[in-house]
Structure 1
Amino acid sequence: MKSLSGIAGTALLLMASAMGVNSASAQDATTFVYADAGEPSTIDPAKANVNWEFTVTRNVYDRLVDFDLDDPSRLLPALATEWKQDGKVWTFKLRDGVTFHDGTPFDANDVKATLDRLLKVGQGQSYLVDDIASVTVVDPKTVQIETKAPTVFLASNLSRIEMMSDEDIAKHGGEAGEAWFSENANGTGPYAFVAWTRGTQIELKRNDKWWGKFPEKPFDRVLDRFVTDGANRARGLEGGEFDLANFVPLDEALRIGSTSGFHLVEGNNLWAWPAIYLNMDIPPTNNKDFRNALVKAFDYNAMVQSFQGKAVVGRGPIPAWFPGSPEKDQPEIKTDLEAAKAALAASGLSNATMKCSVPAGFPEFRFAATILQASAAQIGVTVEIEELPFVEAITAIKTDKSNCFVLGNANLSPQDATKFFSAHYLKGGFFNSGKFEDPALQELIAKLPSVSDPAERAAMLKQASDIVVDSHYIIWPARPVTVVPEPDRIGGYRIDPAEYINARFWELYSK
């Protein structure tokens, strides 16, 4: 997969034109050119789970409700105009006059088919709604969703679930038909799928029959280009080849954002990135005092400086922006070598050696492991770093061949922390790589969704967060700010704090 930059990029664009691929420049006021960091493996909403897949699904499909970026505690009407909860049953009233891009009317049968299929597939974002027991069509504009237990978070989590056509699902069922969803899209959203030129781009067009509201001077077409090299994305953005670029390296983003014709857009990021998980099963990290020594020895300032000051040190697993976050009431986590040495002495361990597995291709992960290595050395602990492909790296700690694993903490739900805790800190959670387990935490997370009082939920969330912090299972090196350089000729870009970094094309406009 080649990047569109320099001589090679020009040659590839000429080749693309010869094959019929539109190579509109970023200076075209009606066409928006986006440099994405990768090419999707699927654009099936039931399976999409990474940035460059959400780039398509978030813009082509709509959701029942939307998350208010300006106020994380609020949800906004979308395909559903109103909703209510009665115990385990939620009732959603659907919007009139909505059609899919192929002209088919949207109704309650589409909601049922979408959720039934998502839960059956069990991939992608299905974990957000895995507490659904059944979906019932009351009438064409009313759907009832019953959960396995009462949960106040269902509507919030549905703000991430894209609605599909029941006719498409019926037509393309079975293994052979499933491939259709991976490379085609038919939603009700602001942009419609046009074409996918493998290795180059996906083309979208504006849906002028969309129920929502576009800004003045919206873009009629979007070219989602696949540009895997960060330096090439930066150069293309700066040179005017792209209107916006995903994952521009921080130093380049800060430099470009300060030059004439550009400005910086900053916002909250997903939870914490990176995070260091410590193995609870094998020595020496199965010793709580030893883990405490590592937490206190870590050089947090060095990690913040690596983000050029565009980061803070988290106080626990839940960031301050999250509704009900206990962060402001939790003690600051900071380097304290004397306390680290005291904790190490309490552990009874000396001259300890441990191994840390790091997914290859993530400079921040490698740097965090290097800081851990240097910090631990100051208290007499040896850390051996092993870079591996992601699956091998996480398997190493899960099979007790490694004492630590570096990854990011992430949560796609804008209001429900229980899904995050379940994945990262409860028994059986995929990202619970160090096999942390606490019965009190398990009980809190199971009960929390049924509590209607926000103050009571906040208190329980603090209890849950404190349990994780006090276990010293995780080292949170930094919580970076997302920094995106945007050309002055473009407006409307916003960062969704509960989302992988991508673009909401329906909010963008040409100045």
Structure 2
Amino acid sequence: MRVPARLSLPAALAASALLSGCFSSTGAAGSGEGERLRVAMMQPPRSGLSPLSDDAFKLSRWSTAETLVKLDADGDAVPALATEWKQSGRSWEFTLRDGVTFHDGTDLTAEAVVRSLTEAATASPKPRILDGVDLTAKAKGTGTVVVTTADEDPLVPQRLSSPQLSILAAKAYRGKTVNPVGAGTGPFELTEVDGTSSAALDRYDDYWGGRAKAPGIDVRFVPDGTARAAALRSGEADIVEAVPVSQAALLDEDLITEVPMPRTNTLYLNTEKGVFKDASLRAAAREAIDAKSLVDGVYEGRADVAEGLLGPALPWATGLREPVEGRAKAGDPAGKTVTIGTFTDRAELPEVAAALQQQLRKAGFEVKLEVREYAAIESDALAGAFDAFILSRATVLDSGDPAAYLYSDFASDGSFNISRLADPAVDKALEKAGGTPTGDARRRAVIEAEAAVLATDAAVPMLHERVIQGDAADVAGAAHDPRERELVTLDTHVK
């Protein structure tokens, strides 16, 4: 264990206790070159690391599962497992990269790609990137795949960049669930998963893109933010995901990187039943919220007050946004009781909930809080069990385009519609945004859809987060990705 001299013995012992056995190497030793990377992740797997769930982003951040295309810094599609593509009406033809093998030694073929995409397109529920999308894939020879949608879709390449549409070997689909162990194409092979505790990956020396500098990765899932920060301070971890704001000041500034995120901390209000079925009471809740005090108090200034659902990570949004019209006037809460749910995995959220409780009480609401780990509360939130739910939500995580997020969260048939919103005007605006070609016209349509959502007060955006990542002083090449798709890459290693 590498303990910096500045760390007191009690602090070092506390970190070791919190992470006892945390990074004992569970994977193979590799070639003996360099040290394995020890990574502390925030959220444990929720679906056994199935790529059809949000666990897909872990596979992407570990560089073990890959997609046909990737996104560049501007959100445009660039080659990955596919080298080029072209559109013909509702169909897109993708040319596959030569010389790619899966971690089990089998070749990447059109048949393998079709299998993975078909599994995703026919899953129940579908990956949210396919919300409202009827997609089919067919092989054209061994090296070409034709992807067709029911309606002409300008975002097909961006959709196929989602880690939820990763391409895996046939072995991954033999059971009732998708198992990514030993089935990816990336520079690191997933070799072992210990439930929600840990995972191990070894370098895959036959990777098509070259040889990774690190011999492997040892991952520990550490939901407690204080424990993650302690792991960095004590030298127990090389890379720490999502350092809580409250812990950032306790770390050496040289060890942390702050990145503006396309992530909005939003209060979702249940429009289907309960107190917030009344639009005037939704308006009363919105007017009661003091977002600046949350930014200053809970986030210690390391966040931005929200002007809309889309934040400064999408700079074009501010220039296109206009005042929201058509909102209901605020009613009188008159002592009505509401229950707000949130989760502990993001350390700031319980603090936000406590602050909101006071703000809403001041406005006349009676407020109860229910706080659990995310894996234990998500299903209740989606089922409408709460009057309101506080969520830290990525707005361009999947396709690099916010239309997919808006549809997922606010369309009548959206798969992540926590607000239970069913509004014809919103659905119409979302349909327009989704069907508009990429470019300025699409951006304007997206902002119109945002305004339609905000007019309902189904969601109250409070602040836009910045992610704080911790990298040990001897770590080089770690990715600092606003979209949370990359973390350990070919070049990441311990010096």
Asked if TM exceeds 0.5, the reply is yes
1:59 matched to 2:54: no
Contact 2:283 2:457 in 1 (8 A): yes
Determine the structure 1 residue equivalent to 2:149.
147
- The within-5 A match list for 1:360-375 is 360-361=343-344, 363-375=347-359
Contact 1:98 1:211 in 2 (8 A): yes
Match of 1:307 among 299, 310, 317: 299
Cα separation, 1, equivalents of 2:386 and 2:22: 45
Determine the structure 1 residue equivalent to 2:190.
193
Cα separation, 2, equivalents of 1:475 and 1:389: 22
Aligned-pair RMSD on alpha carbons? 3.5
1:204 matched to 2:187: no
Match of 1:295 among 258, 262, 286: 286
Determine the structure 2 residue equivalent to 1:30.
35
1:279 matched to 2:270: yes
Match of 1:40 among 33, 45, 52: 45
Cα separation, 2, equivalents of 1:378 and 1:38: 33
Higher helix share: 1
Shift of residue 65 of structure 1?
Answer: 0.5
Determine the structure 2 residue equivalent to 1:337.
none
Contact 1:203 1:224 in 2 (8 A): yes
Long gaps (5+) in structure 1: 334-339
Partner SS, residue 469 of structure 2:
strand
Distance 1:243 1:57, change over 3 A: closer
Cα separation, 2, equivalents of 1:292 and 1:10: 45
Cα separation, 1, equivalents of 2:383 and 2:43: 30
1:449 matched to 2:440: no
Determine the structure 1 residue equivalent to 2:475.
490
- The within-5 A match list for 1:1-400 is 6=15, 8=17, 12=21, 21=26, 29-40=34-45, 42=47, 44-50=49-55, 54-55=58-59, 59-68=63-72, 70-72=73-75, 74-123=76-125, 125=127, 127-128=129-130, 131-160=133-162, 161-166=165-170, 168=171, 173=174, 177-178=175-176, 181-182=178-179, 184-197=181-194, 201-213=198-210, 218-258=213-253, 262-273=254-265, 275-282=266-273, 284-305=275-296, 306-322=298-314, 325-330=316-321, 343-344=329-330, 347=331, 349=332, 351-361=334-344, 363-387=347-371
Deviations 1:128-155 (A, max 9, x none): 3762432111111111000011111111
Partner SS, residue 104 of structure 1:
coil
Partner SS, residue 224 of structure 1:
strand
Shift of residue 109 of structure 1?
Answer: 0.9
- Which deviates the most, 156-165 or 120-129? 120-129
1:420 matched to 2:420: no
Partner SS, residue 326 of structure 1:
helix
Partner SS, residue 424 of structure 1:
helix
Deviations 1:235-258 (A, max 9, x none): 221122211112332222342142
Contact 2:308 2:450 in 1 (8 A): yes
Contact 2:403 2:430 in 1 (8 A): yes
- Which deviates the most, 76-85 or 397-406? 397-406
Letter in 1 for 2:248: A
Cα separation, 2, equivalents of 1:381 and 1:43: 40
Deviations 1:153-200 (A, max 9, x none): 11111112211124x25xx53xxx336x43723211111123345575
Q: Percent identity?
A: 23
Letter in 2 for 1:236: A
Shift of residue 203 of structure 1?
Answer: 2.1
Cα separation, 2, equivalents of 1:397 and 1:126: 16
Contact 1:269 1:480 in 2 (8 A): yes
Distance 1:86 1:319, change over 3 A: farther
Distance 1:148 1:4, change over 3 A: farther
Cα separation, 1, equivalents of 2:224 and 2:372: 20
Shift of residue 97 of structure 1?
Answer: 1.2
Shift of residue 93 of structure 1?
Answer: 0.7
Letter in 2 for 1:300: A
Partner SS, residue 195 of structure 1:
strand
Deviations 1:455-489 (A, max 9, x none): 22122111111111222221222111111122232
Letter in 1 for 2:338: K
Cα separation, 2, equivalents of 1:178 and 1:209: 29
Partner SS, residue 321 of structure 1:
coil
Cα separation, 1, equivalents of 2:19 and 2:207: 35
Distance 1:86 1:22, change over 3 A: closer
User: TM-score, structure 2 length as denominator?
Assistant: 0.84
Match of 2:454 among 469, 476, 484: 469
Shift of residue 430 of structure 1?
Answer: 3.7
User: TM-score, structure 1 length as denominator?
Assistant: 0.82
Distance 1:227 1:197, change over 3 A: same
Determine the structure 1 residue equivalent to 2:445.
460
Long gaps (5+) in structure 2: 1-11
Partner SS, residue 178 of structure 1:
coil
Deviations 1:307-362 (A, max 9, x none): 11110112222223348x523443689xxxxxx9x944xx3x36242312213435
Letter in 1 for 2:116: T
Letter in 1 for 2:487: A
Partner SS, residue 250 of structure 2:
helix
Contact 1:310 1:481 in 2 (8 A): yes
Shift of residue 421 of structure 1?
Answer: 1.8
Partner SS, residue 453 of structure 2:
helix
Contact 1:284 1:290 in 2 (8 A): yes
Deviations 1:205-249 (A, max 9, x none): 22232222567xx21211112334332322221122211112332
Cα separation, 1, equivalents of 2:378 and 2:183: 35
Paired positions, count: 475
Cα separation, 2, equivalents of 1:398 and 1:194: 33
Contact 1:394 1:405 in 2 (8 A): no
Partner SS, residue 67 of structure 2:
coil
Contact 2:190 2:202 in 1 (8 A): yes
Match of 2:393 among 406, 409, 414: 409
Distance 1:491 1:407, change over 3 A: same
Shift of residue 99 of structure 1?
Answer: 1.2
Distance 1:351 1:237, change over 3 A: same
